[in-house]
Homo-oligomer: A and B are copies of this chain.
Amino acid sequence: MKDVTTHIPTYEDMLAAHERIKPYIHRTPVLTSSFLNELTGAELFFKCENFQKAGAFKVRGASNAVFGLPDALAQRGVATHSSGNHALSLSYAAGRRGIPCNVVMPRTAPQAKKDAVRGYGGIITECEPSTTSREAVFAEVQERTGAEFVHPYNDPRVIAGQGTCSKELMEQADGLDAVIAPIGGGGMVSGTCLTLSTLAPEVEIYAAEPEQADDAYRSFKAGHIIADDAPVTIADGLKVPLKENTWHFVSNYVTDILTASEDEIIDAMKLTWKRMKIVMEASCAPPLATILKNPEIFRGKRVGVIITGGNVDLDALPWIGRG
């Protein structure tokens, strides 16, 4: 089997991904807000992946991986150990192809997350909440099923799939000067780099990150990957570290990485809900938070802002009960 982890996807891979996944994804709308334009002094174009199938952009990469598998491999199914949007998306995509999706999740994961994965048809195998247990259980599942591992972000098929988002954005919003997306493991930012470095190399690419999980920021400044152990942030989709494939894109094509505090993230999240009337995750808020914090970078520019997902626990909103 080809070692996918060392393969850097190309612009052609992204184009092929878009053709492959079109039947299974939404071409999500781009929304604007005159209030937020006035507030920031920029013209913001929000690419609303919170309206995406399974509630997040992750379905682009997951669908590309699932539908790109040859039949013989596909019938054994796919597997992952994410407990977040990637697990939902992979379950959704596998369901659309009619193949099994195995998800290894800690038994301590919130019931709501388990229910959501099962709601999309995923088969959960529980592990203990430790890396050792997760790896052992995952190896057992893969051994038993022969399922194809699809990494949440370091997989080149996944990166090529995520790159389709900024392809659509460039078709939907003319003359962008910059694009900004949140960064965790770097899948969306890498896909954005992959697409824009060929399609529109003049467009600046910014990544936005929580101060409390600023490993990508520190990696970018240091020139090599720095991984944090279990950072704590409200933006729970952004806790994971860069890996070699995403580091390739981040280190070569990103203009800068900007950070925001927890309060700035929560304020930007609430402001977006209030003014744009959309439900988005805390993990989507660092871009607007950093635009508000660094107006001199964005003033007068046309800026694409990627809203990455909308899978929120509506019973636990971060601004309620805040001191």
Contact = CB atoms under 8 A, between A and B. Distances in A.
A31 interface: yes
A319 B310 contact: no
Interface residues of A, number: 20
Nearest to A279: B277
Contact of A314 (B29, B31, B270): B270
A283 to B, nearest CB: 14
Contact of A319 (B273, B274, B280, B314): B314
A310 B277 contact: yes
Interface in A43-59: 50-51, 55
A278 interface: yes
Interface in A256-284: 270, 273-274, 276-280
A270 B314 CA distance: 8
A317 interface: yes
Interface in A281-323: 310, 312, 314-315, 317, 319-320
Secondary structure type dominating chain A contacts: loop
Given A31-B51, A51-B31, A314 B279 contact: no
Contacts of A280: 277
Contacts of A320: 315, 317, 320
A310 B276 CA distance: 9
A274 B310 CA distance: 8
B319 A315 contact: yes
Interface in A141-182: none
A274 B51 contact: no
Interface in A4-57: 29, 31, 50-51, 55
Contacts of A314: 270, 273-274, 317, 319
Interface in A182-209: none
Contacts of A279: 273-274, 277-279
A273 B317 CA distance: 13
A113 to B, nearest CB: 14
Contacts of A270: 314
Contact of A50 (B29, B51, B55, B277): B277
26 contacts: A29-B29, A31-B51, A50-B277, A51-B276, A51-B277, A55-B277, A270-B314, A273-B279, A273-B314, A274-B279, A274-B312, A274-B314, A277-B278, A277-B279, A277-B280, A277-B310, A278-B278, A278-B279, A279-B279, A314-B317, A314-B319, A315-B319, A315-B320, A317-B317, A317-B320, A320-B320
- 5 nearest interchain CB pairs? A277-B310, A277-B279, A50-B277, A273-B279, A51-B277
